[in-house]
Amino acid sequence: MIVDDQKHREADLLARIEKIQHVLRHKARPEGYILLKKDVIIPQLERALEKVREGSHGECDDCPEAIPERRLKASPGAIRCLSCQTKFEKSRAVS
């Protein structure tokens, strides 16, 4: 069951990455949200994919807390718990 779940998550993350890369390849002038996906979301999805392959998907990158399954279902590329993600986003906004 765990292996099936891992394969499903891996396939889902790969599909999301490929979809974004497809748009970037075929869009003459990517702007705004598409560039955000390229610069922020693809690396996050790739990190989540690494975590799936390592068997650590669902563990926060920044603290010892687990990422709730509900959050992972809503955002499969999540690599931080909600608290750490909020801190991360605030720190990026200040920079």
Average pLDDT over residues 2-25: 83
Number of Cβ atoms within 10 Å of the Cβ of 34: 15
pLDDT in tens, 26-51: 766 666 666 666 777 888 899 999 99
Burial of 77 (0-12, 13-18, 19+ CB in 10 A): buried
Listed by start position, the domains of the chain span: 2-94
pLDDT in tens, 50-74: 999 999 999 999 999 999 999 998 9
Q: What is the pTM of this model?
A: 0.69
Average pLDDT over residues 69-80: 91
Confidence of residue 18 (pLDDT cuts 50, 70, 90): confident
| Second-level CATH architecture of 2-94 | Up-down Bundle (1.20)
Distance CA 93, CA 63 (A): 21
Distance CA 71, CA 69 (A): 5
The pLDDT, as a whole number, for residue 61 is: 95
Distance CA 28, CA 69 (A): 37
Tell me which of 95 and 32 has the higher pLDDT: 32
